C-alpha cells in the first residue's frame, strides 16, 4: 500500500463506510438470529418464534444497503463495450445520458420507497408487532445511499476523474 493510499484511507470520514457497517451488522444479525432459531428449535423445548422475523428484517437491510456498498465500489454489472469504442464526442454524451437515467431511476425508487414505508407504518409484523416500515426503511436508506454514491461517481466521471471508490475503476466507460 502506498503512503498516499494509506493517508487517503485514514482521512476518510466514518460516514464513508456507512454501507459496510450497516450491511455488516445486518449480516451478523441474520446469522445470529438464524443460529438461535435452530438452537431453540432442536435443542430446547421452546422454539423462538421471533428469529425468522428478525432475520427477514435484517436480510432486507443487508440486501439494500449492501447493494449500495456494491455500487459505491463499482462492482455492479456494466456493459460498456460499445460506448468505449465510440469517439469521445459521441461516447461522452451517451454516458452522461445513462448517468442521468440512473439518477432519475434512483430518485424515483427513493421517493416511492418513502411513500411505501410511510403507508406501511400502521401494518405491524406478525410476531414482534413492529411496524413493517422497519423492513421497508431498508429500501429508503439503500436507495438514498445509492443515489448519493452514484451522483458522486457521475460527478467525478463528468469532471474526468476516476469514477469508482478509492480510484478503483468499476467501468471502462470513463471518457
Coil, strand or helix: which one is 117? helix
Coil, strand or helix: which one is 87? coil
Q: State pLDDT tens for residues 40-94.
A: 999 998 899 999 999 999 999 999 999 999 988 888 877 778 887 888 888 889 8
Reported confidence tier of residue 175, pLDDT bands at 50, 70, 90: very low
CB burial class (10 A; 0-12, 13-18, 19+) of residue 64?
A: buried
Residue 131: strand pairing partners: 124
Give me the percent of the chain exceeding a pLDDT of 90.
59
H-assigned helices in the chain: 3-11, 18-42, 50-72, 88-119, 133-158
Residue 168 is predicted with a pLDDT of: 45
Amino acid at each position: 500500500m502506498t503512503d498516499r493510499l494509506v493517508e487517503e484511507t485514514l482521512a476518510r470520514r466514518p460516514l464513508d463506510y456507512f454501507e459496510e457497517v450497516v450491511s455488516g451488522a445486518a449480516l451478523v444479525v441474520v446469522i445470529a438470529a438464524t443460529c438461535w432459531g435452530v438452537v431453540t428449535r432442536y435443542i430446547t423445548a421452546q422454539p423462538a418464534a421471533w428469529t425468522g422475523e428478525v432475520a427477514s428484517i435484517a436480510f432486507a437491510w443487508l440486501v439494500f444497503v449492501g447493494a449500495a456498498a456494491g455500487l459505491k465500489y463499482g462492482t455492479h454489472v456494466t456493459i460498456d463495450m460499445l460506448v468505449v469504442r465510440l469517439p469521445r464526442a459521441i461516447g461522452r454524451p451517451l454516458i452522461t445520458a445513462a448517468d442521468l437515467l440512473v439518477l432519475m431511476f434512483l430518485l424515483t425508487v427513493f421517493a416511492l420507497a418513502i411513500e411505501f414505508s410511510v403507508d406501511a407504518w400502521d401494518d405491524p409484523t406478525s410476531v414482534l408487532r413492529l411496524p413493517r416500515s422497519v423492513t421497508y426503511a431498508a429500501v429508503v436508506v439503500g436507495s438514498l445511499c445509492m443515489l448519493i454514491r452514484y451522483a458522486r461517481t457521475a460527478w467525478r466521471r463528468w469532471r474526468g476523474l476516476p469514477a469508482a471508490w478509492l480510484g478503483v475503476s468499476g467501468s471502462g466507460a470513463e471518457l
